[in-house]
Structure 1
Amino acid sequence: MQIINSQIDDAALKAIGRDVAHLLCAGEVDALAARFGYAVALGRGPATAIREDLAECFGQVGAIGLARNLEFGCDVKFFAPNSSNLLAIVECVIPALNGADVLVEIAVTSDGSNRYATLEQISVVN
């Protein structure tokens, strides 16, 4: 998702992270994939890859779904200028129904004049 420079601050990026978490918890995977893509789709369609990776997380922790209607805490880590054009990472921990945690990471990148927020990865919190 393309974002504007005013969205490159702690509060705005946390809001983007919460939006991603709410879409995922609501099962709105197609909308999530359409808005944010999925960096580790690895040749799969983004929505399919998100579903498969989330199902893999559930299998690892023995969960059947994510908790809904929660306020999610998100952390933002900013980076100094670098060759990968990575500006920040937004990390949100989403509880599964069984209490296990799933980590959702959103990468914030730049191609010079444009800024993007992309769903980077979904994994189990160890």
Structure 2
Amino acid sequence: MTEQKNYYFWLFIEQELRDLQPAFAKYFPEHHLEWDCENYWEWLTDDQGTPEIPWLNINRPHQFVEGDGGCYEEPLVVNFTSPTMDTAAVLALAQRVSNGLNTTVFVGTQTYLQGDERSYHIDYELEPEK
């Protein structure tokens, strides 16, 4: 069995996750992204996956009142597994997202602390290319 590597990148953007669904569908064209939420989190996910990216989850704390903006200070996290992608491929994907959404994208690791708290370690910071 091929080892699955877990990858993270994140960004800060003042848009509702539901409104970003069409954009993320362009970056992950083989995935059927569906939006869902619970009390604290909202996410786009594809439970079917592909051979290259078998598991994909895009998430952040959600708005309790749509348009309130309270979650925009929280990172929108793209988390996925892949048995085939390497760092260069992940950076290329993150750069496409940075360019398309015109925002800085951070690539690195995420650590769960407790409850809904997470910490991030930045390995790469990608600015939109002109």
Task: Place the TM-score, normalised by the shorter chain, in its bin.
Answer: 0.3 to 0.5
TM-score by length of structure 1 reads 0.37
TM-score by length of structure 2 reads 0.36
| Greater strand proportion | 2
